[in-house]
Structure 1
């Protein structure tokens, strides 16, 4: 998903249209190199040889190797035509020839394509459509269940339709919305919801919410807490699940914007020491911005118990450093060569001071791949990934994460405010 966000951001910055293609029956294109037999399919049995079996010459759906063989055939075709496969993300292919630059991103049978030479892009689409059975879907507006709206200066990634379907399944489409997805004080009332109070329903809704975090980083921490208790959910977790669904009801039209700007990578990391009351393990979180666009984030419970808050914060820095190095490698594959060091912000001064004792972070600081920078706890955006927050604090950090209502919703609110203001002015008595 970070690759997709970077792909869209770079196309936006270069004013390249993003084309979308869909491969029909993708797995049937793969070649089989092993000897594989199958029973005769129903309705196509050979009456003269009913006990014979079929020798497969091409891949079919249901074979374990079918996805791999399809991707191998498609990638081999691209490489034979001058494309280079990214080492940071194998689903990304780039073509560079003189002044021509083209990027192609594939996810199973969905393809995004963008470049600076429209004639070459058109020829590539024709070539792929001739080699494989493909459908050209025009410029991108819906990819992997994500609605993609765009204007001249930005794209907006939204899963509002998907979120609506989750609420509908939970029969909470008309529930009272809440302004915070988690609580800082545990509820002491019994949980009585007949739909959600079921271990299977808990797992199903939690899995669905996990996919929603693709465009909603503001719920990442709450979903992470739910995921930790998939097999031992307690009443408090059912309360948290219902509260999160009520929060979605009030923010159903929030999305993640991708906006033009300088391609400067910045990361913030944070940790909440010994936050799990049972295991006493800490929770780490970090997020990375490319310019003003949020492209990557993560929430994780640390594998071992940290002996101090400094230890927990430093492990968060190490995790963020690994993500920074991967993003830097990805940007190089996109032909974005940033000579500036990536600034990594941390609100724990002790964690910054001990980097000389830890080789991984120390080496990358010395080679100037990253610069460790102090930041006040008040301004620490990654704080939203590590703990439950009071509503005012949560809403402030959500704003800094750039999660916001869809443009159409903003326009409606703006028009309503404008109409109200006009009416008040019109009815105002003259002094």
Structure 2
């Protein structure tokens, strides 16, 4: 570090000396790492172990208590099975670091936490208000769904949008909102595919999504108390395009420009969804079974990470996790070791599904399409199906939480 003006010391030949830092300065790129090294070293001396599945999670298990600490830069969330142990930890850390105890968790990284007898309701109402204020849409009329079922988006589908930076900024902000709003995950994923050269039509879809959020700003994820920690995943795929029924006798098929399918899955811990994904697949699938098979493979990958994390948190999973999909061919392919002619081209790493099923680590089961919760993550839906999936994903309003509590 260079010496500050007015305090310059020179060496024997008249060259300015440099300062040797005793600790990292705020703003330097090394500062966050230096802080994490110091904090983690201190916690390890107290008996905490950094989880291998997530290095920002620290776990301390003793004979009478288990304590968790989640670290995000210099913001800490501490919880545990024994309140006295938690308070003792805070007191110890106060002697080493300058801490400000904010009490019970109510607001963290833009997420609001509301406690009730039904559980903990996670919302981002203030965050949504800021997005609507930025786009001057606070008074806009709302929509019942985030995306129209008959919309077709592709590159150059209309005139270029005049402010692409605004488009990128809004879509990027909406991506963070997906942490508590799985009901908009597919729409945001779709809009994220046009960040380079957005069009007016795509911006209108952003506005529609904002209108939907304006009418559902108090909606959020309800985390319910559970007795047993069972894991299951609902997995779906939209093979090469979205099919929407116009009426009883006519069907309109919307096919994306590059024919790649969309994978969607949601992992539940007990009655609570803890992870959801909506993403476009990397390759073109030759059949609906193959598209679903790839989606199941992605789901199992994240499920294995969840199992690893729970193990480090000393949480026992009672039953074998089950992957639910609505394609009978995929269910058969996952458990049948015969290499079928129509799947010989599938990459070998995708077939690790069979390895996990054969080892009894996971099972793959069939669920009818009408009960497939992950359908909301692969395509736009009519309101009736959308409302069903949204409720199954525990996305409800604050009024619904309070009304349920009153009953």
Q: TM-score, normalised by structure 2?
A: 0.86
| TM-aligned CA deviation for residue 378 of structure 1 | 0.7
Give CA-to-partner distance per residue, 1:307-358, whole Å, 9 cap, x none: 1111110000000001111111111111111241001100011111112346
Q: Specify which of 150, 156, 166 is matched with residue 185 of structure 1.
A: 150
Q: Quote how far apart the aligned CAs of 1:260 are.
A: 0.7
User: Is the partner of 1:268 in helix, strand or coil?
Assistant: strand
Correspondence 1:118 to 2:83 = yes
Distance 1:59 1:244, change over 3 A: same
| SS of corresponding position for 2:19 | strand
**Which residue of structure 2 aligns with residue 264 of structure 1?**
230
Tell me what 1:39 maps to.
2
Counterpart in the other structure of 1:106: 71
Q: 2:316 is matched with which residue: 337, 349, 361? A: 337
Which structure 2 residue ranges, 5 or more long, are not aligned?
A: 242-254, 340-349
Select which of 239, 244, 260 maps to 1:273. Answer: 239
Paired residue for 2:60?
95
- Verify the 8 A CA contact 2:159 2:199 in the aligned structure 1: no
Of the three residues 348, 351, 354, the one matched with 2:327 is 348
Confirm or deny: 8 A CA contact 2:158 2:199 kept in the other structure: no
Q: Aligned match of 1:61 in 26, 46, 57? A: 26
Question: Which stretches of structure 1, 4 residues or longer, exceed 3 Å deviation after superposition?
Answer: 47-53, 190-193, 409-415
Q: How many residues align structurally?
A: 373
Alignment-derived partner of residue 199 in structure 2: 234
The residue aligned with 2:301 is 322
1:302 aligns with 2:281: yes
Deviations 1:14-54 (A, max 9, x none): xxxxxxxxxxxxxxxxxxxxxxxx2335xx64166695432
How many Å apart are 1:59 and its aligned residue?
0.9
> Does structure 2 retain, via aligned residues, the 8 Å contact 1:88–1:330?
yes
Q: 1:69 to 1:410 in 2, by over 3 A?
A: closer
Residue from 398, 404, 411 that aligns with 2:396: 404
Are 1:199 and 2:160 counterparts? no
Q: Kindly indicate whether residue 353 of structure 2 is the aligned counterpart of residue 390 of structure 1.
A: no
Per-residue deviation at 1:414? Answer: 11
Q: Does 1:74 align with 2:39?
A: yes
Does the 8 Å contact 1:191/1:238 carry over to 2?
no
Partner of 2:248: none
Q: TM-score, normalised by structure 1?
A: 0.81
CA deviation vs aligned residue, 1:239-295 (integer Å, no higher than 9, x gap): 210110110111011011011113211110001111362211111010011111111
Which string of whole-angstrom CA distances, capped at 9 and with x for unpartnered residues, describes residues 358-408 of structure 1? 64001111121111110011100001001111122212211111101014x
Change in Cα spacing, 1:82 to 1:238, as seen in structure 2 (3 Å) is same
Q: Which residue of 2 aligns with 1:222?
A: 187
Instruction: Work out whether residues 114 and 121 of structure 2, in 8 Å CA contact, stay in contact via their aligned partners in 1.
Output: yes
Please give the secondary structure, in 2, of the residue aligned with 1:331.
helix
Q: In structure 1, what is the equivalent of residue 96 of structure 2?
A: 131
The match for 1:366 is 358
Partners of 1:169 and 1:387 in 2: CA distance: 28
Q: Report the CA distance between 1:152 and its aligned residue.
A: 3.8
Task: Return closer, same or farther for 1:187/1:303 CA change in 2, 3 Å cut-off.
Answer: closer
**Structure 1 unaligned residues grouped into runs of 5+:** 1-37, 419-431
Give the whole-Å Cα distance in 1 for the aligned partners of 2:186 and 2:351.
Answer: 29
Is this contact kept in 1: 2:229–2:318, CA < 8 A?
Answer: no
Equivalence for 1:27: none
For residues 353 and 48 of structure 1, the distance between their equivalents in structure 2, rounded to whole angstroms, comes to: 77
Structure-2 separation of matches of 1:373 and 1:224: 27
